[in-house]
Amino acid sequence: MAATKDYRLLCLENPLLDIQAVGDDALLAKYGLKANDAILAEEKHQGIFEDLLNNYDAKLIAGGAAQNTARGAQYILAPNSVVYLGGVGDDKYAAILHDAVKQVGLRVEYRVDPKEQTGRCGVVITGHNRSMCTELGAANHYDVEHLKKPEVWSLVENAEAYYVGGYHFTVCPPAIMELCKQAAARNKPFILSLSAPFIPQFFKDPLDASAPYWDYVIGNETEAAAYSESHGLGLTDVKEIAKALANLPKENAQRKRVAIITQGTLPTVVAVQGEEAVQEFPVHAIAQDEIYDTNGAGDAFAGGFSAGIVEGRSLAEAVDMGQWLARLSIKELGPSYPFPKQTYQPTQ
């Protein structure tokens, strides 16, 4: 293990290898997938990974939503700023993940499970939609014991901010709560991504247990709608849902909660706890023919935004950094960033 160093942002979630291909409606129908969704693989989905590889010219790309975010934040921040935790196997897929994180200089502390395969995410691209079907594998075995290992826990204690992908509620809520409590006790920012509609729908209880600890909560319009519905808010307007999220009860009263909802090409909505006015930030324009694929655009936004928070930038600047990085990622295949590295320049 590398020498202990203080990493500024510590991220936790599920490292996955994306098996991504352009598909069609017949492929979606074969596995009962929606064009734009993220789900956990069931029995009926087992064949999809081989199918994509053998019949659809699939590419293998480093994925895992919060790992994409961590790579994105590290892409922007000074070297050795971000560390990422999650579970992998000891196989060729883990080796691809190691290569990808090395490229941006992201430090990872994986819990390596020799008995389990590295998690896989089948990504079916149809037009500007992406359908994701995930077999968590080794990622599903992440545990608090790993988090509490002295060399890992010291990274936690020394970090300045935390980012957790909501997908991890399917894996290890106790590890999330450890980070939540650490953040509140030391008055450090805790950033949560809602990740996918099925998290507020089917993982409501662990999600709600962590809610008082969110300093920043990030989601897109479909996740916001799923939150509203599963929590009986009766709200459909994105701005109103953002406001409701911002004003949930909060543990650390030293920070006002901020809710950030992205809406694809529509403006990013930002609500601050206790503030009546909801802000809107138009996204950075991108020509249609420059859109390669939008898989990972939300993760990239979260990476740029989190980098801004770590650097102590204003909310408007952090949103601008998120939009800048999302735009770069959309021009790449999958959740990737361009090399040679581009340097963030404020829009205004």
* Beta carbon nearer to ligand 26A, 65 or 152: 65
Q: Give the three-class secondary structure for 63.
A: strand
* Beta carbon nearer to ligand 26A, 33 or 38: 38
Residue of the chain from 35, 40, 209, 211 that contacts ligand 26A (CB under 6 A): 40
* Residue 87 lies near ligand 26A (rule: CB under 6 A): no
DSSP code, position 278: P
In the complex, minimum distance from the CB of residue 145 to ligand 26A, in angstroms, rounded to a whole number: 20
* Residue 65 lies near ligand 26A (rule: CB under 6 A): yes
Site for ligand 26A in 140-179 (CB under 6 A): 165, 167, 170
Task: Supply the DSSP string of 156-183, one letter for each residue.
Answer: HHH-SEEEEEGGGGGT-HHHHHHHHHHH
In the complex, minimum distance from the CB of residue 169 to ligand 26A, in angstroms, rounded to a whole number: 9
* Residue 322 lies near ligand 26A (rule: CB under 6 A): no
**Alpha-carbon distances, residue 23 vs 127, 278, 335 (angstroms):** 9, 38, 18
Active site residue 320: no
* Residue 303 lies near ligand 26A (rule: CB under 6 A): no
* Beta carbon nearer to ligand 26A, 197 or 296: 296
* Beta carbon nearer to ligand 26A, 163 or 167: 167
* Residue 63 lies near ligand 26A (rule: CB under 6 A): yes
DSSP code, position 342: P
Structure tokens at 186: 């030391």
Query: Which residue is catalytic, options 215, 293, 299, 320?
Result: 299
Cα–Cα distance between 293 and 314 in angstroms, integer? 29
Burial bucket for residue 57 (CB in 10 Å: 0-12, 13-18, 19+): exposed
Instruction: Note whether 15 and 110 are within 8 A (CB).
Output: yes
Cα–Cα distance between 232 and 182 in angstroms, integer? 30
DSSP code, position 331: T
Residues serving a catalytic function are 299
Which chain residues interact with ligand 26A by CB under 6 A? Answer: 13-14, 16, 18, 38, 40, 63-65, 68, 121, 132, 134, 136, 165, 167, 170, 295-296, 298-299, 335
